[in-house]
Amino acid sequence: MHVIIARHYMQLALRNRSFVAFATILIGMTIASGVIGLLSHQTIISVYNITASELQASGKAIPPNPFASASSLSLIKNMMIYIPLVGALIAIIIGNDAVAADRSAGVAKILFSRPINRAVYVRGKLLAASGILGGVLGVCLLVSCISLAIIIGHTSSVAEYVALIIFYFASFMYLLFFVLVGMISAMLLSSRLVATLSAIGVWVMVTFILPQIVSGVSPVASLNPVSQAIAYQNSQFFQFTSWFSFMSFAESYKHIAGGLLGVSSSNLLDALRFAVPITAAITALYVLTVKAAGAMSTYEGGSYE
Amino acid sequence: MILSFQLPYNKRMNSKKTQPAILIHDLTHRYKDTEVLKTVNLSVMPGEVFGFLGHNGAGKTTAVNIMTTLLKPSSGSVKIFGEDVVQNSFAVRRIIGYVPESVFLYDTLTARENLIFFAKLSGVVNAEQAVAKTLKFLDCEGLADRRLGTFSKGMRQRIGLAQAIVHQPKVLFLDEPTSGLDPEGVLLLRATILRLKTDYGMTIFMNTHLLSEVSKVCTNIGILRYGKLLYSGSLDDLTHKFPARALLEDIYLSYENQSK
């Protein structure tokens, strides 16, 4: 039954102009990320070549090519900013629309007079949303691979491709959290606008405010993998809030994404710091979403499923 | 409980061995402190077209919400062909169809796509075939491949009815089905209701606030006022007591006076 619900929502989503527009923007930004990488690569190579020829002419030693030691994935590092920004908004729209389409249209009453229970309903919607999100990120992965092949002129190493796939998988997990936030807000709040704004409020909290509180970073730096110029960690407040850093998915996503794209260093512990809390949060939100599905029908409490 | 209600209910329950399509026993429902249904007892036999009359706020939609398993009653019981709506809500959902007052389906999908979805949800094995048959029955094959967003109120109502009957339920619940329809749409709906009864033997429970409406299609009716069932029984019995075009207010006042 959940497959029927999933297929149905996929059919609806593909006809939702807002979703198609946002998905196109994310894919466009992935292409832009590649173009920016290509242009910066060409500029640096060009400057390097000029400098190298001048050094050679003056008989001085030529320093190594700066790209020789860097991971080619660092050329598309902008993706780790685009995903938490545009990607999260798309995820909210997908989750919100999956439920709001039924709720605002008044279809929920007809749906819940059919032999489906709330868990199956939520599972179906989540399956569809995951499929759509996976599809969009899959296209982004493909675009990233093509961009890299064009930029560096040859295919990346297997390790780099694996890192790129893990990066997109981590992005998928991160965005799935926002899909559920979008779903649960649409279930609990009858106004579509209020539901969307509430979900965006959670996104602002997770992306900007929480990292700032638990890490003592400035809002802009919360998306930037470069280390802080000024550290606030010595203050007692930030020492206390840093205990809750595991709750800052944006912060842990930034670390793992930076490590995978070769921009900063990250280790297995960073991976666990991201994977464990995000999986726990997704599981908890799923359970809450199933409970919240009851609010969609006129049914108020009791034993109906 | 008033006398005029007790006699038809008991008489019908004792005289017929057939299991009622709908059996409501001491049904009460409260929203916080407001009692919207007050110990309602009612039975509808298979194949009947039952009109449930009452003004806005009488409790008709609450009663239908309970019968369609959307709302759990505060007390009392409702059985649809012997299946309790609380204990066996899934069994009930398999044998009912429901058309809410305002029919909203998915505007970006075509009528056929909408119907296939609801047919599959209801467990129809060959959904495409069932949808084609339903569209043919309702004489709206021409609407099948148009998106619902382009439909008029009347067209929507027909597709709303189609989603409710695509799985050939035993009982069909219609909540104010003629609301907002033009005269042609009303005539078409009446004809369809009668065909559903004769062709499929479907039991139809229809909420309305128009006595003139039920007189065209219903054989038995119930009259609800502020959650209290004032009358349940044959329409013929009622029309003998009141002029054919009597307003609900006249009937209400008459029964209020009787109950005093």
Report yes or no on A65 lying in a domain: no
- When pLDDT is cut at 50, 70 and 90, the band that residue A211 belongs to is confident
Report yes or no on A262 lying in a domain: yes
Closest Cα to residue B106, out of B94, B118, B98? Answer: B118
Quote the pLDDT of residue A302: 37
Surface-to-core class of residue B175, CB atoms within 10 Å of its CB (0-12 exposed, 13-18 middle, 19+ buried): buried
Report yes or no on A46 lying in a domain: no
**What pLDDT, in 10s, does the model give residues B169-215?**
999 999 988 887 888 888 888 999 999 999 889 999 999 888 777 88
Quote the pLDDT of residue B260: 55
Report the distance separating Cα A184 and Cα A189, nearest Å.
8
Surface-to-core class of residue A38, CB atoms within 10 Å of its CB (0-12 exposed, 13-18 middle, 19+ buried): middle
ipTM of predicted assembly, 2 dp: 0.81
- Cα distance from N-terminal residue to C-terminal residue, chain A: 14
Distance, C-alpha A108 to centroid of its chain: 29
Nearest to B102 among A11, A106, A116 (CB): A106
Report the distance separating Cα B211 and Cα B195, nearest Å.
21
The fraction of chain A above a pLDDT of 90, given in percent, is 23
**Which residues, in sequence order, are bridge partners of residue B29?**
B37
A112 contacts in chain B (CB < 8 Å): 69-70
Q: How far is CA B152 from CA A15, B134, B155, B185, in A?
A: 21, 19, 5, 11
**Structure token pair of residue B119:** 């047919």
| DSSP SS3 for A196 | helix
Name residues 10-29 of chain A within 8 A of B (Cβ): 11-12, 15-16
Q: How far is CA A1 from CA A111, A115, B118, B126, in A?
A: 12, 9, 11, 15
Nearest to A4 among B96, B107, B121 (CB): B121
Mean pLDDT of A27-54: 86
Chain A, chain B: beta-carbon pairs less than 8 Å apart: 75
Instruction: Answer yes or no: are the C-beta atoms of B1 and B42 closer than 8 Å.
Output: no
Mean pLDDT of A113-121: 86
Quote the pLDDT of residue B4: 37
Report yes or no on A282 lying in a domain: yes
Phi/psi of residue B37, nearest 5 degrees:
-130, 130
Report yes or no on A40 lying in a domain: no
> Quick check: A47 contacting B, CB < 8 Å?
no
A298 contacts in chain B (CB < 8 Å): 65, 70-71
The distance of A4 to chain B (nearest Cα, Å) reads 7
Report yes or no on A161 lying in a domain: yes
A13 contacts in chain B (CB < 8 Å): none
pLDDT at A300 over 50: no
Nearest to B121 among A12, A116, A298 (CB): A116
Name residues 247-276 of chain A within 8 A of B (Cβ): none
Q: Give the global pTM.
A: 0.79
What is the span of the domain harbouring residue A261? Answer: 2-33+75-298
pLDDT at A103 over 50: yes
Report yes or no on A12 lying in a domain: yes
Mean pLDDT of A193-215: 87
Quote the pLDDT of residue B259: 57
Mean pLDDT by 10 residues, chain B (260 residues): 38 60 95 90 94 89 93 94 93 93 85 95 92 92 91 89 94 89 86 91 91 84 91 82 64 65
Beta-carbon separation of B70 and A111 below 8 A: no
Report the distance separating Cα B222 and Cα B231, nearest Å.
5
Mean per-residue pLDDT over chain A, rounded: 82
Mean pLDDT of A2-31: 87
Residues A130/A132/A135/A141 CA torsion (nearest 10 deg) = -70
Report yes or no on A60 lying in a domain: no
Beta-carbon separation of B109 and A11 below 8 A: yes
Looking at chain B, list the stretches that DSSP marks H as alpha helix, in order from N- to C-terminal side: 3-15, 60-67, 89-95, 111-121, 127-137, 153-165, 183-200, 211-217, 235-241, 248-259
- Under an 8 Å CB criterion, which residues of B touch A? 65, 68-72, 86, 89-90, 93-94, 96, 98, 100, 102, 104-109, 113, 117-118, 120-123, 163-164
- When pLDDT is cut at 50, 70 and 90, the band that residue A234 belongs to is low
| DSSP SS3 for A191 | coil
Q: How far is CA A271 from CA A82, A251, A266, B30, B158, in A?
A: 20, 12, 8, 53, 55
Total domain count, chain A: 1
